[in-house]
Amino acid sequence: MADNLNVFQQAIQNFLGPIVPFLKDSSISEILINGPNEIFIEIDGKLQKTTSSFADEDALRAAVNNIAQSVGRRIDTESPRLDARLPDGSRIAAVIPPCARNGTCVSIRKFTQNQISFKDYVKMGAISVDAAQFMDICMFLGKNVIVSGGTGSGKTTLLGILCSRIPKGQRLLVIEDSSELSIKYDHVVNFETRMADQQGQGEVSMKDLLKSALRLRPDRIIVGEVRAAEAMELINAMNTGHKGCLGTVHANSPQDAVVRLESLAQSGDSKISEKALRHQVGSAIDIIIQVSRYSDGSRRVGSIAEIRGYSENGTYEVHPIYEIPRLVRGSDGKLQGRLEATGEIPSFMQEIIDNNLPFPIAKFQKSTAA
């Protein structure tokens, strides 16, 4: 790992000169290169155009080629896309011409060494105190949780926080396409997929790793991002005694998230009927947390919903427990509003009581304040 990091750092110095200051600036979370003459950076969730540029397309392409080589990947006319984890933990994605019409396109999402706790998350205004305590309870009781949201909304950050709240003494198996999760926990086993080689051999998919994980005595299975047929394997795991599974999915609402998981599960080679699949999805998932990046640049939890199965009228039973009723823009340009209880009582309230957890039913009562 140290050798790979040294090679990567040398490649940065030699080929990525125009963006080296941005890579070193801890306030910058992402660097976006749209061809050699256009570089944007993200600070506090807002994009800013810089005056930096590469000498020409050849210089930018050379930089991407060397970065790919330093992490054991390739990008060329036969494989014009790159998606990889860098030795420092950052994530790089790139597309080269002719697929990229404006010149080589690159995104570098920087890895942060800072461990964010639930207390930090609350202080940031990303979640309310009561909602954070409720999620703690869900982790303690081993509820199956899906974090839903768009690209850059903070799904991975929240997933890492949730994993750190799992009760001690359990074995976590983490499966990712490219390792990004930073989990503060004693017993963690990390798996990462592998791309096929130039001859199309040697691929190890998320689905493959999930099948292996089920045979490796997991207490909890965490999937960094559910994006394909591995959804069926995760749903099966949730329905066969593996409590407390977690994962993320790209979706705009809890309702969209559960439908997306259904469609991803259908994309595999499973012979299960549509009706049976929907009932399995509805019974597998307990909680969906929706996170979003808002127009003021903030990332926060927009709703927490419980899934109570698939109804006979052909819809999933999605019941919001907490949600933000409204957001109002303040004089400073920031959106003001917070998660509030909807009045829905979770179906596992008796389980909360039986475990003597200090979270009374009054916490779920809808606020009557104007």
- Tens-place pLDDT, residues 228-285: 889 999 999 999 888 999 999 999 999 999 999 999 998 876 778 888 999 999 999 9
CATH of the domain at 17: 3.30.450.90
The answer to whether 47 and 41 have CB atoms below 8 angstroms apart is yes
CATH number, domain at 322? 3.40.50.300
Are residues 234 and 331 located together in one domain of the fold?
Answer: yes
The last residue of a domain, from among 51, 84, 109: 109
Does residue 143 sit in the same domain as residue 92? no
78 and 184 share a domain?
A: no
Long-range contacts of the stretch 337-346 (C-beta < 8 A, 24+): 338/125, 338/128, 339/127, 339/128, 339/130, 339/131, 339/301, 339/302, 339/303, 339/304, 340/128, 340/366, 340/367, 341/130, 341/365, 341/366, 341/367, 342/366, 344/306, 344/319, 344/320, 346/306, 346/321
- Looking at the structure, do residues 76 and 152 belong to the same domain, yes or no? no
As for how many domains the chain has, the answer is 2
Contact 192, 179 (CB under 8 A): yes
Question: Does a structural domain hold residue 153?
Answer: yes
Same domain, yes or no, for 180 and 226?
yes
Domain edge (last residue) among 80, 109, 138 = 109
Asked whether residue 69 is assigned to any structural domain, the reply reads yes
**Residue 369 belongs to some domain of the structure:** no
- Amino acid identity of residue 96, one-letter, is I
Asked if the structure places residue 244 within a domain, the reply is yes
Q: Are 165 and 32 in a shared domain? A: no
Convert the pLDDT of each residue in 3-49 to its tens digit: 555 655 665 666 778 888 898 898 898 999 999 999 999 998 889 99
On whether residue 267 sits in a domain, the answer given is yes
Q: Which residue among 74, 109, 144 closes a domain? A: 109
- Predicted structure pTM score: 0.84
**Residues 36, 131: one domain?**
no
What residue numbers bound the domain in which 227 lies?
118-364
| Co-location of 182 and 245 in the same domain | yes
pLDDT at 40: 96
Place of tokens 């999915």: 249
Please indicate, yes or no, whether residues 198 and 257 belong to a single structural domain of this protein. Answer: yes
The predicted structure's pLDDT at residue 282? 95
155 and 55 within one domain: no
Q: Are residues 52 and 138 in the same domain?
A: no
318 and 226 in a common domain: yes
Would 105 be classed as within a structural domain?
yes
Residues of the chain with confidence (pLDDT) below 50:
1, 370
Is 370 part of a structural domain of the chain? no
Could you tell me if residue 327 is inside a domain? yes
